[in-house]
């Protein structure tokens, strides 16, 4: 009730521990943090350094003969030169998938948040439900849906949207559809969260003040859902760009994304310097896109 | 019931030079006071005045920067909360949502290793009129019922002191009235010292034997509710507890048993017993209900003092009509007149004479340069003034 | 006019239902395929209805081994990451200490880093340190990426808890330890359980990071990945459907309990 009584508690902090206790418990937070922080330092941060080192290994080495750290900066331009089409493809596919996901996800999130009434929770479960089953199994299901002998392809051939020998599987369309499908829930959930807080009366106020539905959306709904839109976009874009499962299962080597190459560099060709350089390039490219995007969106607070 | 209480020596609760600072902010400033055993004591003040911090220091939830909290002869200021024979009814109750009412009430007994609690819990629930609610969860009770569970949960431990932190703040007006009476009844019944923190002056006045008005970490005035109301010690108290018309003036010493005051060109007097000082800058105070309005100076009763003015606003609030009277020097005085059927309504714009019995006026210290202090009309009539 | 208004009112809901259909279609297909007798090993098309896949889920014993291994890894990774993450969440919400922003960054980064990068960097570390890869390197990797999610989940629950409840307990003669056991822990438990379920599902379903750190150990997602090249046994769809049904039941039961608790109040 008194403002000052809330000073120590309102920020989610503990009520200021009395002095006697403070001494006894000063080390406690560090003890609580130690195991988890150590785990993340050793198995998250340290490996990144190791990966950085690996990307600078002498490319003439091999797993059996051993690698020498020769600061071979040339690995980066070499990797980029060899695989820039896959890089471009990764970003192109995930960008197209993002646009599709926004076109589908925004109405979905809006409908659940503002129109669903008592069906709200059920619809939310439907959004999350795909994630209940294995990522790989449900990606494989698209092979059945898009199959050359399937109903969908048959229908599209009948209405001449596809030629008589036209296919969906093993085309960029399949890969983009798969990416859109797999990461759509990550876009919808944060978007839903911010649209759910939107007060419907604001829209009524806007239309009372002579805004057309479109204007009301552009001037009220869209800006207010910005935090969710930004978070959802990032949660979609980061994993989609680094994904290679969809390209592998639904595409052909012609649709390979950068992840397929990193996978084969590490696990098939055993070319660690190149794989590491590609990994870092991927991360740098994603970070750059994210950074530019956040600057444009004008909300650095999200991160 | 008292015999079942703590073995610790019974006694008064004394705060001695109690101080609490948060960084550079002094929340409670060198507070000293004594709360006699068995009394109902209210700490009254606005948000941020330090009353809750004081309460939390008594409970042990906040450690004083300096000073003592004495219970009888024992300084408990540095004991952990669970080592003190003091219990608290929290603001918004803080009932444990995962325990049923029985277990909420029995919580303190169980923590002290008492196994057979059922009888005591039942008796306590009966005391707060919640028999049969034991198996429910807190979320299934109404606000008023939750409030009573919080009370039972604290009282069952027979603390030497029960602390109440705005216990009625979350209830609606009607329920609040009811609980005020209930709390007072229970306090009389169990005879435990109650320390009640509130910002509601009416609540403090109806329930407490003694009220301490706090402001900026200090106690402005301490006393029985009627004494504080009738003769406030400071301008803050005069306007925090009810309203007052405070006219800026200069006291010119004592003449007989009266203090002479000149204010806004008029000469007034106040009984010496009702003057906090007799020389220098003063406020001449009159409560709005003690200010009567008549048409001409000729109608002013003998012995009354008066100022002239014009009615600028008349609000009819049922039991009374609240007038604003603008004086020649521009201040607006409030005057409440009971709608007792005697006398009619005064129209806005009517010239009037406001008069009062000097025995109802009071004289307070004024900082040099301070002007009149008159409060605007409240939306809600201050009931304590009318009752 | 009336039709256009009706459309304007309903089109959002219509689009939403279409999108939900798009999201649900693969699950329907998986459930359907679990009753399919494929015409050949590499065929993904419906052929013939059969119950064999459900009656003999372990006809391909490799697959069942991989499921068991995934469950084992999931349990261990869940246990460890839930303990580590819960401790961190308590430190972050309940204590003041130096270096808070550094810790927050350390927790946030794994959630924002592409899995591919985490997987390859761990591989680089294990290879450089000469650690043979297998069951335990998978567990290590899974704990690493689960911890952050546990911290975030438990922290949310803990921060939403009224600290006055703990003050009330101490006021009622509960020592620090008793307060933790009787009040704090029971109230935070739903958050911890939610975090553990999340960690288990993340671990069970992870492919990319596991793929780089598995050595010759095969988890269920890795089995599916390998089988996609060689030909998928239809029992994979049985596992997929069963996972879905179990998760759905868990959600159903918890929401029913939540609703009953609400109705009682």
Note the pLDDT tens digit of each residue in C47-75: 888 888 898 888 888 899 999 999 999 99
Tell whether A110 is within 8 A of chain C (Cβ): yes
Q: What is the pLDDT of residue B159?
A: 93
Test B108 with C265 for CB contact under 8 angstroms.
Answer: no
Tell whether C138 is within 8 A of chain A (Cβ): no
Q: What is the pLDDT of residue C5?
A: 65
Residue C189, min C-alpha distance to chain B (Å): 11
Test B82 with C174 for CB contact under 8 angstroms.
Answer: yes
C window 4-33, beta carbon within 8 A of A: 8, 12-13, 15-16, 19-20, 22-27, 29-30, 33
Say whether B243-370 and B2-226 share the same fold: no
Test C187 with B140 for CB contact under 8 angstroms.
Answer: no
Residue B382 has pLDDT above 80, yes or no: no
Query: What's the rounded mean pLDDT across residues C216-237?
Result: 91
Q: Give helix then strand counts, H and E, for chain B.
A: 9, 21
Lowest-confidence segment of A153-162, B1-10, B254-263, C118-127 by average pLDDT? B1-10
Please report residues of C whose CB lies closer than 8 A to that of B98.
186-187
- Locate the chain B residue with the closest alpha carbon to A5: B53
Share of chain B above pLDDT 90, in %: 65
* CA angle (C144 as vertex; C142, C150 as ends), nearest 5: 90
Domains and CATH numbers, chain C: 1-52+221-265 (no CATH), 63-217 (1.10.3720.10)
Q: Where are the domains of chain A?
A: 17-54, 76-302
Tell whether B78 is within 8 A of chain A (Cβ): yes
Structure tokens belonging to residue A214: 């479109």
For the structural domain made of A76-302, what CATH number should be given?
1.10.3720.10
Task: Give the SS3 label for residue B99.
Answer: coil
Q: What is the pLDDT of residue B376?
A: 55
Lowest-confidence segment of A18-22, A297-301, B270-274, B319-323 by average pLDDT? A18-22
Test C24 with A131 for CB contact under 8 angstroms.
Answer: no
Do the beta carbons of residue B179 and residue B191 sit within 8 Å?
Answer: no
Mutation target for C interface from A137, A167, A221: give the one with most C CBs within 10 A.
A137
Tell whether B168 is within 8 A of chain A (Cβ): no
Of C168, C173, C175, the CB nearest to B94: C168
Residue A30, min C-alpha distance to chain B (Å): 24
Note the pLDDT tens digit of each residue in A231-286: 899 999 999 999 999 999 999 999 999 999 999 999 998 889 999 999 999 999 99
Query: What's the rounded mean pLDDT across residues B281-308?
Result: 92
- Name the DSSP letter for residue B272: G
Query: What's the rounded mean pLDDT across residues B125-145?
Result: 91
Token pair 């200490």 is at which residue?
A: C97
Tell whether C171 is within 8 A of chain B (Cβ): yes
- Locate the chain A residue with the closest alpha carbon to C98: A30
Residue A225 has pLDDT above 60, yes or no: yes
Q: Give which of C156, C237, C152 is closest to C199, Cα–Cα.
A: C152
Q: How many residues can be counted in chain A?
A: 303
Residue A299 has pLDDT above 60, yes or no: no
Q: Which fold has domain B2-226?
A: Rossmann fold (3.40.50)
- Locate the chain B residue with the closest alpha carbon to A19: B63
Q: Please report how many Cα atoms fall inside a 13 Å half-sphere around the Cα of residue C143, on the Cβ side.
A: 28
Please report residues of C whose CB lies closer than 8 A to that of A110.
12, 16
Do the beta carbons of residue B165 and residue B191 sit within 8 Å?
Answer: no
Please report residues of B whose CB lies closer than 8 A to that of A16.
22, 62
Q: What is the pLDDT of residue A213?
A: 78
Test B94 with C164 for CB contact under 8 angstroms.
Answer: yes
H runs (alpha helix) in B156-198: 173-190
Q: What is the pTM of this model?
A: 0.82
Confidence of residue C124 (pLDDT cuts 50, 70, 90): very high
Note the pLDDT tens digit of each residue in A131-142: 888 899 999 999
Residue B47, min C-alpha distance to chain A (Å): 4
Tell whether B207 is within 8 A of chain A (Cβ): no
Tell whether B80 is within 8 A of chain C (Cβ): yes
Q: What is the pLDDT of residue C264?
A: 56
Residue B387 has pLDDT above 50, yes or no: no
Class of domain B243-370: mainly beta
- Locate the chain C residue with the closest alpha carbon to A10: C163
Test B27 with A19 for CB contact under 8 angstroms.
Answer: no
Test A2 with B165 for CB contact under 8 angstroms.
Answer: no
Q: What's the CA gap between B293 and B290, in Å, rounded?
A: 10
Tell whether C253 is within 8 A of chain A (Cβ): no
Note the pLDDT tens digit of each residue in A151-210: 888 888 888 888 888 888 889 999 999 999 999 999 999 999 888 888 778 877 877 787
Instruction: Give ipTM to 2 decimals.
Output: 0.90
Tell whether C1 is within 8 A of chain A (Cβ): no
Test A1 with B199 for CB contact under 8 angstroms.
Answer: yes
Residue partners of B62: CB distance under 8 A and separation at least 6: A15, A16, A18, B20, B53, B56
Of B47, B63, B165, the CB nearest to A3: B47
Of C23, C83, C120, the CB nearest to A276: C120
Q: Which long-range contacts (CB under 8 A, 24 or more apart) does A38-45 make?
A: A39/C84, A39/C143, A39/C144, A39/C147, A40/C106, A40/C107, A40/C110, A40/C144, A40/C147, A40/C148, A41/C106, A43/C122, A43/C125, A43/C140, A43/C141, A43/C143, A43/C144, A44/C106, A44/C109, A44/C110, A44/C113, A44/C118, A44/C144, A45/C106
Tell whether B63 is within 8 A of chain A (Cβ): yes
Residue A5, min C-alpha distance to chain B (Å): 6
Note the pLDDT tens digit of each residue in B293-305: 998 889 999 999 9
Query: What's the rounded mean pLDDT across residues B79-107?
Result: 93
Q: What is the pLDDT of residue C34?
A: 92
Q: What's the CA gap between C75 and B337, in Å, rounded?
A: 78
Query: DSSP secondary structure string, chain A?
Result: --HHHHTTTTTSPPP---HHHHHHHTTHHHHHHHHHHHHHIIIIIHHHHHHHHHTTB-TT-BTTTB--B---TTHHHHHHHHHHHHHHHHHHHHHHHHHHHHHHHHHHHHIIIII-GGGHHHHHHHHHGGGGS-HHHHHHHHHHHT-TTSHHHHHHHHTTSS-TT--STTSHHHHHHHHHHHHHHHHHHHHHHHHHTS-HHHHHHHHHTT--HHHHIIIIIHHHTHHHHHHHHHHHHHHHHH--HHHHHHS-GGG--HHHHHHHHHHTS--HHHHHHHHHHHHHHHHHHHHHHHHHHT-GGG-
Test A129 with C244 for CB contact under 8 angstroms.
Answer: yes
In the complex, which subunits touch C with 3 or more CB pairs below 8 angstroms?
Answer: A, B
Note the pLDDT tens digit of each residue in A72-89: 888 999 998 999 999 999
**Dihedral of the alpha carbons of C114, C116, C122, C125, in degrees to the nearest 10:** -110
Test A4 with B78 for CB contact under 8 angstroms.
Answer: no
Test B61 with C264 for CB contact under 8 angstroms.
Answer: no
Question: Sign of the CA dihedral C240, C241, C246, C251?
Answer: positive
Test A4 with B22 for CB contact under 8 angstroms.
Answer: yes
Query: What's the rounded mean pLDDT across residues C126-142?
Result: 94
Q: What is the pLDDT of residue C231?
A: 83
Do the beta carbons of residue A233 and residue A241 sit within 8 Å?
Answer: no
Q: What is the pLDDT of residue A14?
A: 40
Do the beta carbons of residue B355 and residue B306 sit within 8 Å?
Answer: yes
Residue B21, min C-alpha distance to chain A (Å): 10
Task: Give the SS3 label for residue B32.
Answer: strand
Q: What is the pLDDT of residue A108?
A: 94
Q: In b/e form, how buried is each residue of A181-191, taking b as 16+ CB within 10 angstroms? A: bbbbbbbbbbb
C window 93-112, beta carbon within 8 A of A: 93-97, 103, 106-110, 112
Residue partners of A177: CB distance under 8 A and separation at least 6: A142, A146, A168, A250
Q: Where are the domains of chain B?
A: 2-226, 243-370
Residue A290 has pLDDT above 50, yes or no: yes
Test C174 with B107 for CB contact under 8 angstroms.
Answer: yes
Note the pLDDT tens digit of each residue in B188-201: 988 899 999 999 88
**What does pLDDT average to over chain B?**
88
In the complex, which subunits touch A with 3 or more CB pairs below 8 angstroms?
Answer: B, C
**What does pLDDT average to over chain C?**
90
Test A29 with C91 for CB contact under 8 angstroms.
Answer: yes
Q: What is the pLDDT of residue B291?
A: 93
- Locate the chain C residue with the closest alpha carbon to B103: C182
Residue C183, min C-alpha distance to chain B (Å): 7
Query: What kind and span of H or E run contains B144?
Result: helix B143-155
Token pair 């307060």 is at which residue?
A: C179
Residue A22 has pLDDT above 60, yes or no: no
Q: What is the pLDDT of residue C44?
A: 78
- Locate the chain C residue with the closest alpha carbon to B139: C265
- Locate the chain A residue with the closest alpha carbon to C141: A43
Residue A148 has pLDDT above 90, yes or no: no
Do the beta carbons of residue A139 and residue A178 sit within 8 Å?
Answer: yes
Could you tell me which residue, C77 or A2, shows the higher pLDDT? Answer: C77
Residue C11, min C-alpha distance to chain A (Å): 9
Share of chain A above pLDDT 70, in %: 90
């Amino acid at each position: 009730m008194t403002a000052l009584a809330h000073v120590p508690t309102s920020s989610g902090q503990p009520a200021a521990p009395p002095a006697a206790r403070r001494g006894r418990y000063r080390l406690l937070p560090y003890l609580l943090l130690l195991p988890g922080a150590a785990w993340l330092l050793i198995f998250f941060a340290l490996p990144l350094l190791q990966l950085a080192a690996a990307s600078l290994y002498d490319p003439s080495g091999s797993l059996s003969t051993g690698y020498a750290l020769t600061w071979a900066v040339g690995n980066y331009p070499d990797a980029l030169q060899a695989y820039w089409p896959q890089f471009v493809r990764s970003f192109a596919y995930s960008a197209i998938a993002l646009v599709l996901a926004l076109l589908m996800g925004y109405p979905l999130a809006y409908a659940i948040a503002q129109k669903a009434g008592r069906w709200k929770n059920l619809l939310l479960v439907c959004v999350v439900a795909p994630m209940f089953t294995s990522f790989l199994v449900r990606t494989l299901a698209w092979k059945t849906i898009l199959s050359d002998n399937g109903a969908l392809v048959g229908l599209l051939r009948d209405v001449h949207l596809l030629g008589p020998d036209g296919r969906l599987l093993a085309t960029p369309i399949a890969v983009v559809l798969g990416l859109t499908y797999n990461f759509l829930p990550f876009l919808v959930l944060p978007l839903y969260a911010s649209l759910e807080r939107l007060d419907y009366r604001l829209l009524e106020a806007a239309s009372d003040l002579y805004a057309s539905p479109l204007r009301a959306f552009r001037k009220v709904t869209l800006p207010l859902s910005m935090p969710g839109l930004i978070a959802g976009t990032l949660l979609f874009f980061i994993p989609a760009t680094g994904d290679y499962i969809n390209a592998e299962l639904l595409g052909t080597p012609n649709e390979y994304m950068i992840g397929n190459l990193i996978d084969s560099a590490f696990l098939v060709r055993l070319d660690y310097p190149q794989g590491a350089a590609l990994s870092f390039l991927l991360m740098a490219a994603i970070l750059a896109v994210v950074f530019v995007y956040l600057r444009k969106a004008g909300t650095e607070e999200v991160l | 019931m008292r015999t079942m209480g703590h073995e610790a020596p019974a006694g008064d609760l004394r705060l001695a030079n109690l101080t609490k600072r948060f960084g550079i902010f002094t929340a409670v400033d060198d507070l000293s006071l004594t709360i006699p055993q068995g009394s109902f004591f209210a700490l009254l003040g606005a948000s941020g005045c330090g009353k809750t911090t004081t309460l939390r220091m008594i409970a042990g939830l906040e450690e004083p920067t300096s000073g003592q909290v004495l219970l009888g002869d024992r300084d408990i200021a540095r004991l952990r909360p669970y080592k003190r024979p003091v219990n608290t009814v929290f603001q918004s109750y803080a009932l444990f949502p995962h325990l049923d009412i029985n277990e909420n009430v029995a919580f303190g007994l169980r923590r002290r290793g008492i196994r057979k609690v059922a009888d005591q819990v039942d008796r306590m629930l009966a005391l707060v009129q919640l028999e049969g609610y034991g198996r429910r969860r807190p979320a299934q009770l109404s606000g008023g019922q939750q409030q009573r569970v919080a009370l039972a949960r604290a009282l069952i431990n027979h603390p030497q002191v029960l602390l109440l932190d705005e216990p009625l703040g979350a209830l609606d007006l009607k329920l609040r009235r009811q609980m005020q009476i209930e709390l007072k009844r229970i306090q009389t019944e169990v005879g435990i010292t109650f320390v009640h923190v509130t910002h509601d002056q009416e609540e403090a006045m109806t329930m407490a034997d003694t009220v301490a008005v706090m402001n900026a970490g200090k106690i402005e005035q301490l006393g029985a509710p009627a004494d504080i109301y009738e003769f406030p010690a400071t301008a803050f108290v005069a306007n925090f507890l009810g309203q007052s018309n405070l006219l800026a003036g200069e006291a010119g010493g004592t003449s007989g048993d009266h203090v002479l005051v000149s204010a806004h060109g008029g000469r007034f007097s106040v009984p010496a017993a009702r003057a906090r000082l007799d020389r220098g800058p003063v406020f001449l105070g009159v409560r709005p209900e003690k200010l009567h309005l008549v048409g001409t100076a000729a109608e002013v009763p003998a012995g009354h003092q008066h100022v002239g003015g014009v009615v600028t606003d008349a609000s009819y609030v049922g039991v009374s009509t609240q007038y604003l009277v603008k004086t020649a020097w521009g201040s607006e005085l409030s005057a409440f007149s009971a709608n007792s059927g005697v006398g009619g309504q005064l129209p806005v714009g009517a010239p009037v004479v406001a008069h009062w019995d000097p025995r109802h006026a009071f004289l307070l210290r004024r900082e040099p340069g301070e002007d009149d202090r008159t409060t605007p009309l409240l939306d809600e009539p201050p009931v304590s003034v009318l009752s | 006019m009336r039709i256009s208004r009706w459309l304007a009112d309903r089109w959002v809901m219509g689009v939403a239902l279409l999108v939900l259909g798009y999201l649900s279609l693969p699950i329907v297909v998986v459930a359907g395929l679990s009753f399919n007798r494929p015409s050949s090993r590499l065929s993904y098309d419906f052929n013939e209805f059969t119950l064999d896949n459900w009656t003999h889920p372990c006809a391909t014993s490799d697959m069942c081994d991989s499921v068991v291994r995934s469950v084992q890894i999931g349990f261990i990774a869940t246990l460890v990451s839930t303990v580590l993450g819960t401790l961190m969440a308590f430190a972050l919400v309940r204590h003041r200490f130096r270096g808070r922003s550094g810790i927050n960054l350390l927790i946030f980064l794994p959630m924002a880093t592409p899995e591919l990068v985490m997987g390859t960097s761990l591989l680089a570390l294990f290879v450089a340190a000469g650690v043979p890869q297998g069951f335990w390197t998978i567990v290590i990797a899974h704990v690493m990426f689960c911890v952050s999610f546990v911290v975030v989940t438990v922290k949310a629950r803990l921060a939403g808890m009224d600290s006055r409840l703990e003050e009330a307990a101490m006021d009622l003669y509960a020592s620090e330890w008793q307060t933790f056991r009787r009040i704090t822990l029971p109230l935070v438990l739903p958050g911890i359980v939610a975090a553990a379920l999340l960690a288990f599902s993340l671990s069970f379903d992870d492919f990319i990071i596991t793929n780089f750190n598995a050595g010759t150990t095969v988890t269920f997602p890795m089995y599916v990945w390998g089988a996609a090249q060689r030909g998928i046994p239809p029992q994979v769809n049985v596992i997929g459907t069963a996972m879905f049904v179990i998760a759905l039941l868990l959600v159903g039961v918890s929401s029913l309990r939540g609703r009953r608790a609400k109705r009682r109040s």
